[in-house]
Amino acid sequence: MFGIFAKRYRINYDSCEGFSKKARKSARAGERVTLYYDVIATDTDYSFFLDGAELNVDWAEDKGYILSFTMPASDVTLKVTSRNTMCISE
């Protein structure tokens, strides 16, 4: 049920300082959410998780990582992890 009075659910950001300050903070259930992550460090792999499930992401040279998901009927938490690819692990 869409409309201006439909309940909005919160998008919580956990360790996600790379998202724009204009990043969405809420959405209605069933709504498509697209976010951009543009703080990119060289030699670093990034993984993005929505409520613990890894998200598939796209890349655009002018926008950085592009994350898209359909908002469920509940609040969600978005988390980013990074790993330096230049470190040698034994």
Q: What is the full per-residue pLDDT of the chain (90 aa) written as tens digits?
A: 556 678 999 999 887 677 777 788 999 999 999 998 887 677 788 899 999 999 999 988 888 889 999 999 999 999 998 887 766 555
Domain membership flag for residue 42: yes
Q: Number of folded domains in the chain?
A: 1
For residue 46, give Cα distances in angstroms to 2, 29, 68, 80: 33, 27, 15, 7
Domain membership flag for residue 11: no
Write the CATH number for 29.
2.60.40
- Predicted pLDDT of residue 82: 82
Domain membership flag for residue 58: yes
CA distance 90 to 87: 10
Q: Domain limits at 56?
A: 18-84
The whole-model pTM stands at: 0.80
Domain membership flag for residue 5: no
Domain membership flag for residue 70: yes
- Predicted pLDDT of residue 2: 54
